[in-house]
Amino acid sequence: MARALAITLALIVVVTCGLFVVHPWWFPDPISTAASAIDRQFAMTFAVCGVLFALAQGTMAWFVWRYQGSRRRAEIRDGRGNGRMEPAWAAMVLLLFVSLGAAGYRVWARDVSQGPAPGALRVEVWGEQFAWYFRYPGPDGHFGPTHPDQMNDGTGNYLGLDRDHDAAARDDIVAATLTVPAGQPVELVLRSKDVIHSFFVRELRIKQDATPGSISSIRFTAERTGRYEIVCSELCGLGHYKMHADLDVVTAEEFQAWLVKQAQSQ
């Protein structure tokens, strides 16, 4: 029985490490510089944790094989532990994981949450059960105020804009698709109308919560044109599974043409 357990542990180590190396299930190709940096951090964390996993499980398999059953019993000693080694091991583990966490935080803060870059396109992202809406400020560069009492999905006033009385809201563009130009920095301002949602695009490697009553922001620069899926990655109700939208990355010329078309339809 002990040999079977040791062999099983060894096989788990080999198969798991093999999956790390081959990674048949992995992220799609990144489409931004921030995504590439996050991938490098993710790979480093995987490598460190993989080595520790292999050492721990391999050592356990060796001890099970060596001291199996009645053939070779380990000497039974007092189980109080080593008063010097245990704090040292705990400190090493703490240092390792704090270092990994700090490195990941540095990547996220530098490339995603540091704030808008000069010339960034600012877009509001609104989540509600169970849809996404995206607001562009229009030619004046300012978002108009929102009025919760005027929010009405039935009339198409999803964000409660009073275009008749608020000058800043008259040229605001509200769309169900997030369209951005390739190569230009984009700042997303995330808001929620009801419960906690989470904006997630795999190809950008960006996931950020939209929390009711607060505003958060993230930034990215998409480098590859195409259509990508936006999903809500926070369980937000019975219709959570269908809360998705499209991210369209287009050329600068196509983006300007899209803005004009959207402005005419508002």
Helices (H), the chain: 2-22, 33-66, 85-111, 252-265
The pTM (predicted TM-score) of the whole model is 0.80
Residue spans per domain, the chain:
2-68+94-111, 121-265
Distance CA(249)–CA(137), nearest Å, equals: 18
Indicate the CATH number for domain 121-265: 2.60.40.420
CB-count burial class (<10 Å; 0-12, 13-18, 19+) for 69 = exposed
Under the phi-then-psi rule, with left for phi > 0, alpha for psi from -120 to 50, and beta for the rest, what region is 201? beta
Q: What is the pLDDT of residue 13?
A: 86
Tracing tokens 């059953």 back to the chain, one arrives at 69
157-214 tens-digit pLDDT: 999 998 888 888 889 999 999 999 999 999 999 999 999 999 999 999 989 999 999 9
Extended beta strands in 138-182, E state: 173-175, 178-181
Tokens of 36: 């590439």
pLDDT above 80 for 1:
no
15-34 tens-digit pLDDT: 888 887 787 778 888 998 88
150-171 tens-digit pLDDT: 999 888 899 999 888 888 888 9
* pLDDT band at 230; cut points 50, 70, 90: very high
Q: What is the pLDDT of residue 254?
A: 95
* pLDDT band at 132; cut points 50, 70, 90: very high
